[in-house]
Structure 1
Amino acid sequence: MGNQFRLLMNRYASVYALILILIISSCANDKQEKVAPPPTELDGLKVPEGYSIESIVDPKLLSYPMFGIFDSTGRMFVFESDGSTPATTEDMLKTPTYHVRLLEDTDNDGKYDKSNIFADSLTIPKGGVFYNGSLYVTASPHFFRITDTDGDGKADKKEIVQTGWKLHHNAATLGGPFLAPDGWLYFTDARRGFDITTKEKKHYTGKSSYIWRCRPDGTGLEPILGGGYDNAIELTFLPGGETIGTMTYFIEPQGGQRDAIMHWVEGGVYPKQFNTIQEDKMKMTGELMPVMDKLARVAPSGIMRYRGETLGGENDGRIFYAEFNTGRIMRGTIETDGATFKTEDEPFITATRADVHPTDVFQDGDGSMIVMNTGGWFIAGCPLSRVAKLDVPGGIYRVKKNGASAIDDPWGKKINFATITPQEKAKLVLDKRIFVSDNASRQLVALKNDGIDAITRELFSSDKEEIRAKGVFLLGQIGTDEALAQVKLAMDD
């Protein structure tokens, strides 16, 4: 009897244990099911379904971010306002208060935890590019090359590469530079006027708006197109070198239109019609050039062309641009339209509250999207912001595609470029990691004639037109007789 009782109790104990395991497992599953999905809305910015958004910089480490870029290692340079708005242009020139901030992610968790002022005492720095160890930045009336020579994260050398553009405190002024596929630096400008003597002692003076370009050392400066529009802001480039950009006031506000997305063509004269076109004696062979995409009074700002599939294959090659007035990031599909292009645009990120003012959008090394919201400080010349709201902070955000695969070594820090062969560098130009590809491209150009064979073998043999075109641009940047001979041969492609 005792044995039977113990056997029965053991059976009951096994059943109870099984029930207890099932209960615990069920509770664990409930907890897993209750894990919050990635956020689709943060600080008034809402991303589409299938994407997530996160803040990547503690607001305490920022002022009011306007534009941003990366160097070749993933450090972020942020062009910032301190929140002040000088009453006049003269006040801004007398006491420039803008600066460039350097952000670093020291533990590689995707968030920036180290912040310091890289360069200060600037007028409005509307973007820049990091090239060959220096930051190139415009802060009208000057175009600067700013360098940290001792590696402490703070610039100790500031050189004026070129000067002569006129500043205006409402931010409609010189912008960039932007590094184009041809290796030249391109600048945007506003209808403020200029009086410039180039390094070759060529004199330019005028009053219209222009797109400019020069080599990184400042030589070859020239205006390549212009018009009567008020202000061009940022530029991005298609694989064939075509220039796309944001612009305000192609027309005085009427019929729900004012601003535009542009396909800028060298030699073109663009709307709006303004007396400076005649005063500057711009050459015209017909009507003013067309606008690619007519917009309302949205104040388009930063623009990029997305490269790769990490944000979703459907976004590869699309343009994204920020609208200051609406709080949106727009997504556009570019299609050929005769000798130019047209775009089909749609909202990608939308604002869910007032005082959200995105000013820049650009791509990180891991393929995610970076968005800058400048906050509520800006009022000079903005019809929708009449009172500065310094209590409305700015922020920097990362947008990801849910489920996207992580990219190993997105900046190529594990690659020793100093020891690999030209052929290996050329193969890295084909790398899907865009900053690795860009770095490899610069390395090949630096090799001069020693890089020509690798470019022609690896890039010209590609079945992709975009890759072959990149090879032509790299040879053009090398610029020697041997390289240009290969460019001429490539014209039969």
Structure 2
Amino acid sequence: MKMTLPAFYSPLLALATAGLLYVAGPTMRQPQPTKPMPERVALHGLVVDDDSNRLYLPDDLEATLWAEAPMFYNPTNMDIDARGRVWITEAVNYRKFNNKPEERLDHPEGERVVILEDTDQDGKADKSTVFVQDKELVSPLGIAVIGKKVIVSCAPNLVVYTDEDGDDHPDKKEILLTGFGGLDHDHSLHALAVGPDGKYYFNTGNAGPHIVTDKSGWTLRSGSLYVGGTPYNKINHGNQISDDGRVWVGGLALRINPDGTAMKVMGHNFRNNYETALDSYGNMWQNDNDDQVVACRTSWLMEGGNAGYFSSDGTRYWQADQRPGQDVPTAHWHQDDPGVIPAGDITGAGSPTGMVVYEGDELGPRYRGMLLSAEAGRNVIFGYKPEPVGAGYRLPRTDLISSFPTVDENYKWNDVDKDTRKWFRPSDVAVGTDGALYIADWYDPIVGGHQMKDGKGYGRIYRITPRGKKLKAPVINLKTTQGQIAALLNPAVNVRALGFEALKAQGDNVVEALLPLLSSDNPYHRARVVFLMANLGPEGEYEVTRLLRSEVPMLRIAAIRALRSASAGVSIRPGEELTRAEKALLPLLGNLADDPSPAVRREVAIALRDVPYADCRFMLKSLIKGYDGKDRWYLEALGQAADGKAEALFAELRPSLPEDPTQWDQRMANLIWRLHPASAVTLLQQRAASPALTADARRQAITALGFIKNVQAANAMVALAKSPDKEIADQATYWAGFRRGNDWATLINWEEAMPSKLSAAEQAMLAKRQILLDEYKSDTEKRRVALEMARNAEGGKVLVGLVADNKLPDNLKKAVAQAILKNPDQSVRTMAKEYFAENVEKVTDADKSSAGTLSVEQVAALTGDKTAGQSVFKTNCATCHRHGKQGNDIGPELTRIHQKFDKNGLLDAIIHPSAGLAFGYEPWLITTKAGQTYYGFLISDGTQSLIVKDAAGQKHTIPTSKVFSRKQYKTSLMPDPVSMGLNQQQLADLAAYLLKQ
């Protein structure tokens, strides 16, 4: 049987839709075709009118519609309480500033938290209760129900509602943490979950700044150059230093104690990681969205890892750092940079959302240990069975549940009225106390919240169970030891926390009752017991210490993590002494520094990050001996262990290395690339210049030099740029030109080392600019010069800069208006409309906005020709956009645009390009004190320089000391179709081409 999907249902959909490789080592793998689970069948149990609207899933599972609107609306996140009830956060009032409120469902009294319940245990919800409706909640993105506490993630606050009397309404509201950026923004504070160690783990996207002080007085300061998305996200910057002395940027994974103390950054530099899912071994898993390219990812997050979205200090987007020859996924996640962890599984285009690890046995053995990742853009729940490989993981992907029989990365969903299968928009996935899966679902034709299309806020929840088997929520009794153990072993993530805390309160008394569980058939049950026993006093700690010698590597890893978590102090500050418990742990770590498992050694390396060099030098050298020269995860763990100790470590390693650096083996070459100590500059320069080495080895040495922030490295690169070897000279020239705009900006005199020159056209127009500013020149001469400039591409830029800085008199502004609106440079014409259109007495059709002359509905009704559309794309779009192998990477990638938009949505974006600007593609106008004007995308915003990428794809580095003004615009750099001379049929053809399979 089949299930009809309703005509409308939706919440938050701003899910970010928004030549040479200079390093040896593994590159990011390209998007791979997904592998479907065998024998997927249609959703059973409900009659529908046709075969177009149904869910597909493995043949041993079945799905039912468990709840739908009006029981709740627009679900963003779910959690399950100890009674098996489903709690929902709603986002009905999302981005009201960007959407017409009269056309949408509205909750004027604020967003709601809703409890859904199946009171008669028939497999469907029959009761809905509003737990709270709060005007201070604006588009909350996360919920965790932990006993009496309900923790809601809603930037800027992590809010705790407490229901003291159990009447399903809060008696108390407290702010656990505050200061997170991203009010009414989906790149903000996401859901919290209790880890196997009893601590709280949560995450936030990159809509900073995040200036958050925990209850122990430790302050996180994290930001980047990213602003936008909402009117409230206006000020942000990178290179901020937290109380641990480190620079954390972008999206973050965080951990705190339940009382709000001891905040710790567990990973950083994400774009918008929607949810961090933990398994019972303490592994962190997450997905991340991309910049409207084809680089969404699902990753294992190594503790402390830099995931590589921004530059390491948060002052540059990936486009600014993209090296010649780098493909987009590699550049997008900085995969060729030392200090960045592997990206994981690149899923391509999409909009990843909620995640969970299924650890129960109720669905069957093949699902135990499966990582589930919701993908709203692709209408699918991805399933992963992570496979340990060296010090990291491989993530083979399957399409577990979807609204299509096969999830084709290139499937066509360009007719919203005829193909409603794409309306399956999973926002979250959770595990019930009965072991069933619950999937929250919403609707909107466009995956992206900048232009919401949904009006009714409809939503659904599906329940997935074993075929033919009835699952029943257990009654959990926390008053007995056995009931507490049952809670600890429950498949619902936050229900386990109740068992953990109750058993922890008993201390050593429960150790004997727990020991048999170390032999459980379910390995996740064993892991939970390990973490619990580390918190049960000396006897429990002793049992965990014994497990450091277990024959099972994952149990050794769990024991390390459990002991570290239990011994952690309340804060990490530079120079702060280790706690007594942390010092006691060092000998145990030392015993594992030569463990046969690289994953165990990885954990030892991670644990040494804040340990003084004198206390870990022998361990570091043992860990280095275990490096095979290939494992990037292991290499990054070594880099973390050497954080702040690289110079001392290299000094100790140097005597054991060949005197001639060209004789280093690959292991040592990779290690020095990762550490890039300042004392290695001369040695790296020798390797880069040596014809005896391979091209890859020389490129690796040049890259390492590029990451050393001192005068010697800058001078070495300048010298290499003069190499007679063209390949080496080209690489070094790139790095010198790149670094002069950031890390090396003030280290040497760049005008002497590598002088920059203005083109003849630029010089000529700047000279004419001086005439316009000369008070002694006649109005007649100024008018003649201004008209000449208005008809010239470079001159037009200068005029736009003058008027933007209020330096062009009104009479000249009116005199040049008609001419500049016909400037040969499209970007000049686009910007000129901001300032000159009002001075044109009679605006021609070519100067009008397309909004009044083209209709989305009329164009959508036309039949498009794909072949003709390809020609339209090549002539009008390929200058800035890439589609397949055609075009340029200046504007958003369009190869898989059909996975972001339906036909109407795509046409709307083309006809009204400024209505919903994608993240990172907001145009900026920068003028210099010398009169130069730059217009394009701001891809770097540092203290030393700005980098603007213009409409031709050129990157312009502008020293901040030379900047006169800067302004962000809401007008797209992309011209509207009427100004390009495109008619309705050409747009229909273009849409057919872009939406083709």
TM-score (norm 2): 0.41
User: 387, 395, 402: which is aligned to 2:467?
Assistant: 402
CA distance in 2, matches of 1:316, 1:285: 35
Structure 1 residue 453, shift from structure 2 partner: 3.1
Where does 1:121-160 land on structure 2 (aligned, <5 Å)?
Answer: 121=134, 122-160=137-175
- Check the 8 A contact 2:76/2:89 in 1, yes or no: yes
SS in 1 for 2:67: coil
Q: 1:367 to 1:460 in 2, by over 3 A?
A: closer
User: Which residue of the partner structure matches residue 545 of structure 2?
Assistant: 488
CA distance in 1, matches of 2:489, 2:168: 29
Deviations 1:320-348 (A, max 9, x none): 21111122112222111221111111222
- Check the 8 A contact 1:326/1:351 in 2, yes or no: no
Matched, 1:366 2:434: yes
Deviations 1:110-142 (A, max 9, x none): 222221221222123222222232112211111
User: Which residue of the partner structure matches residue 459 of structure 1?
Assistant: 517
| Residue identity in the other structure for 2:386 | I
User: 331, 344, 361: which is aligned to 2:383?
Assistant: 331
Matched, 1:82 2:98: no
Q: 1:198 to 1:442 in 2, by over 3 A?
A: closer
- Check the 8 A contact 2:190/2:274 in 1, yes or no: yes
Where does 1:204-353 land on structure 2 (aligned, <5 Å)?
Answer: 204-207=220-223, 208=249, 209-227=251-269, 229-249=270-290, 252-254=291-293, 257-274=294-311, 276-277=313-314, 286-351=338-403, 353=421
- Check the 8 A contact 1:40/1:53 in 2, yes or no: no
User: Which residue of the partner structure matches residue 412 of structure 1?
Assistant: 475
SS in 2 for 1:143: strand
User: 463, 468, 473: which is aligned to 2:531?
Assistant: 473
CA distance in 2, matches of 1:395, 1:216: 32
Matched, 1:356 2:424: yes
Deviations 1:392-424 (A, max 9, x none): 6211111223123x34x53234xx442x3x4x4
Structure 1 residue 150, shift from structure 2 partner: 2.9
CA distance in 1, matches of 2:65, 2:531: 37
Deviations 1:33-67 (A, max 9, x none): xxx96359899441225233221124221111121
Where does 1:431-470 land on structure 2 (aligned, <5 Å)?
Answer: 439-455=498-514, 457-462=515-520, 465-470=523-528
Structure 1 residue 482, shift from structure 2 partner: 4.4
Range with greater deviation from structure 2 (462-471 or 61-70): 462-471
Q: How many residues align?
A: 433
- Check the 8 A contact 1:170/1:381 in 2, yes or no: no
CA distance in 2, matches of 1:360, 1:84: 17
Q: 1:172 to 1:54 in 2, by over 3 A?
A: same
Structure 1 residue 439, shift from structure 2 partner: 4.9
Range with greater deviation from structure 2 (321-330 or 461-470): 461-470
SS in 2 for 1:396: strand
SS in 2 for 1:447: helix
Structure 1 residue 427, shift from structure 2 partner: 6.1
User: 47, 72, 75: which is aligned to 2:56?
Assistant: 47
Deviations 1:146-197 (A, max 9, x none): 1122322122311101111112423110111111111111111111221122
Q: Percent identical across equivalent pairs?
A: 23
Listed as ranges, the gaps of 5+ residues in structure 1 are 1-35
Matched, 1:181 2:190: no
RMSD: 3.1
| Residue identity in the other structure for 1:470 | R
Range with greater deviation from structure 2 (459-468 or 160-169): 459-468
Structure 1 residue 357, shift from structure 2 partner: 1.4
CA distance in 1, matches of 2:130, 2:218: 36
Range with greater deviation from structure 2 (116-125 or 322-331): 116-125
CA distance in 1, matches of 2:360, 2:215: 39
- Check the 8 A contact 2:284/2:302 in 1, yes or no: yes
Structure 1 residue 441, shift from structure 2 partner: 3.9
- Check the 8 A contact 2:194/2:200 in 1, yes or no: yes
Structure 1 residue 379, shift from structure 2 partner: 6.9
- Check the 8 A contact 2:424/2:443 in 1, yes or no: yes
CA distance in 1, matches of 2:497, 2:519: 19
CA distance in 2, matches of 1:127, 1:43: 32
| Residue identity in the other structure for 2:509 | D
Structure 1 residue 437, shift from structure 2 partner: 6.5
Q: 1:215 to 1:43 in 2, by over 3 A?
A: farther
**Computing the radius of gyration over CA atoms, which structure comes out larger, 1 or 2?**
2
- Check the 8 A contact 1:83/1:378 in 2, yes or no: no
Range with greater deviation from structure 2 (320-329 or 78-87): 78-87
- Check the 8 A contact 2:153/2:190 in 1, yes or no: yes
| Residue identity in the other structure for 2:532 | L
Q: 1:276 to 1:118 in 2, by over 3 A?
A: farther
- Check the 8 A contact 1:187/1:212 in 2, yes or no: yes
User: 441, 454, 457: which is aligned to 1:389?
Assistant: 454
- Check the 8 A contact 1:85/1:378 in 2, yes or no: no
User: Which residue of the partner structure matches residue 60 of structure 1?
Assistant: 70
- Check the 8 A contact 1:411/1:433 in 2, yes or no: no
Where does 1:110-121 land on structure 2 (aligned, <5 Å)?
Answer: 110-121=123-134
Structure having the larger proportion of residues in strand:
1
Matched, 1:38 2:75: no
- Check the 8 A contact 2:95/2:449 in 1, yes or no: no
- Check the 8 A contact 1:169/1:380 in 2, yes or no: no
Structure having the larger proportion of residues in helix:
2
| Residue identity in the other structure for 2:215 | K
User: 210, 213, 238: which is aligned to 1:194?
Assistant: 210
TM-score (norm 1): 0.79
| Residue identity in the other structure for 1:263 | W
Q: 1:58 to 1:194 in 2, by over 3 A?
A: closer
Structure 1 residue 68, shift from structure 2 partner: 0.8
Q: 1:96 to 1:426 in 2, by over 3 A?
A: closer
User: 97, 116, 138: which is aligned to 2:110?
Assistant: 97
CA distance in 1, matches of 2:47, 2:362: 18
